[in-house]
C-alpha cells in the first residue's frame, strides 16, 4: 500500500479556506489534517470544532484531527460531531489512555495516539494493539513551518520495528517539517502517512507538491 498524504490546514489561507479545501479535494491528497490547539498544551491557539464542522461539509476526504489540547477526553463527542474520521490525542495529555482510545473507537472514530519528540516510543508497547495509528511529532507541536528534528528517524525506525514484530496493522503518521527530502527519508524508515503544512501551502503549486509527495518511492 502506498503512503498517504495529509495536508495540514494550519498553513492554509484562512481568508479563503474553501479554495484550499477544494484544491485538496481535487488533488492526490488522502486526508485533511486539522490541528486544534488550546494555548495550554501548546503555546498557540488555532481553531476549534465549529470550523472543523464547516470544513467537513465540503471536504471529500477523511478528516484527521490532531488535538493539541489538555483533557481531550472531554471532547470525544464534539470531535465526532464535527465530522472527524481519525481523532489523535497526545500521550502526554491522557492519564487513562486506554480508556480514551476505547471511547474514541466506541464513538465511531479511529483512534490515534500522538507522541511529542521527547516521549520514548517504548512507552507505547502496551497500547499499540488498541490504537489505529501513532502520530509521531517530528517537531515540537504548536506551529507550522518548523525544522524537522533529525532524531525522529531513529524513533520512527524503533516504532516500526515494534509494530512489525507483533504483526500489528497500526499506521505511523509523521508531522512537522515534512518536505520532499525529509518525506523520502521518513517513507524509507516506515512512515505510512505524511502530514505537510508549509511544504504544500508555501509552494507556488500546492496540488503539484501534493503530487510530488505522493509520488515519493
Annotated active-site residue 35? The verdict is: yes
100 near ligand DX5, rule: CB under 6 A: no
155 near Zn ion, rule: CB under 5 A: no
Ramachandran bin of 67, using left for φ above 0, alpha for ψ from -120 to 50, beta for the remaining angles: beta
Map residue 160 onto helix, strand or coil.
helix
Which residues have C-beta within 8 Å of that of residue 216, sequence separation ≥ 6?
3, 180, 183, 184, 187
64 near Zn ion, rule: CB under 5 A: no
Phi, psi of 89 (to 5 degrees): -115, 155
Nearest-angstrom CA–CA distance, 156 and 174? 9
Q: Which three three-digit cell numbers place residue 150?
A: 533529525
Annotated active-site residue 20? The verdict is: no
Bridge partners of 133, per DSSP, are 112, 171
Indicate which of Zn ion, ligand DX5, none lies near residue 155 (CB less than 5 to 8 Å, by partner kind).
none
Question: CB neighbours (10 Å) of residue 157?
Answer: 13
Indicate which of Zn ion, ligand DX5, none lies near residue 142 (CB less than 5 to 8 Å, by partner kind).
ligand DX5
Question: Which of 6, 24, 52, 66: binder of Zn ion (CB under 5 A)?
Answer: 66
20, 30, 64, 175: which one is catalytic? 175
Q: How far is the CB of 45 from ligand DX5 (least distance, A)?
A: 12
175 near Zn ion, rule: CB under 5 A: yes
Q: How far is the CB of 66 from ligand DX5 (least distance, A)?
A: 5
30 near Zn ion, rule: CB under 5 A: no
Which residues have C-beta within 8 Å of that of residue 158, sequence separation ≥ 6?
121, 122
Nearest-angstrom CA–CA distance, 130 and 66? 18
182 near ligand DX5, rule: CB under 6 A: no
Residues that bind ligand DX5 (CB under 6 A): 8, 10-11, 33, 35, 66, 139, 141-146, 175-178, 195-199
Active site residues: 35, 175
- Residues near Zn ion (CB under 5 A) are 35, 66, 175
Amino acid at each position: 500500500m502506498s503512503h498517504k498524504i495529509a495536508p495540514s490546514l494550519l498553513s492554509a489561507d484562512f481568508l479563503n479556506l474553501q479554495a484550499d479545501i477544494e484544491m485538496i479535494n481535487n488533488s492526490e491528497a488522502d486526508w485533511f489534517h486539522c490541528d486544534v490547539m488550546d494555548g495550554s498544551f501548546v503555546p498557540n491557539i488555532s481553531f476549534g470544532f465549529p470550523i472543523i464542522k464547516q470544513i467537513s461539509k465540503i471536504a471529500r476526504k477523511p478528516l484527521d484531527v490532531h488535538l493539541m489540547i489538555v483533557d481531550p477526553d472531554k471532547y470525544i463527542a464534539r470531535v465526532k460531531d464535527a465530522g472527524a474520521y481519525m481523532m489523535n490525542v497526545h500521550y502526554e495529555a491522557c492519564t487513562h489512555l486506554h480508556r480514551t482510545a476505547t471511547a474514541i473507537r466506541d464513538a465511531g472514530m479511529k483512534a490515534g495516539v500522538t507522541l511529542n519528540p521527547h516521549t520514548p516510543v517504548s512507552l507505547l508497547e502496551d497500547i499499540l494493539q488498541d490504537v489505529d495509528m501513532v502520530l509521531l511529532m517530528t517537531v515540537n507541536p504548536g506551529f507550522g513551518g518548523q525544522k524537522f528534528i533529525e532524531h525522529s528517524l531513529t524513533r520512527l525506525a524503533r516504532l516500526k520495528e515494534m509494530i512489525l514484530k507483533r504483526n500489528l496493522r497500526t499506521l505511523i503518521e509523521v508531522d512537522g517539517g515534512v518536505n520532499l527530502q525529509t518525506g523520502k527519508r521518513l517513507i524509507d524508515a516506515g512512515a505510512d502517512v505524511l502530514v505537510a503544512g508549509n511544504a504544500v501551502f508555501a509552494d507556488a503549486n500546492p496540488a503539484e507538491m501534493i503530487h510530488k509527495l505522493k509520488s515519493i518511492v
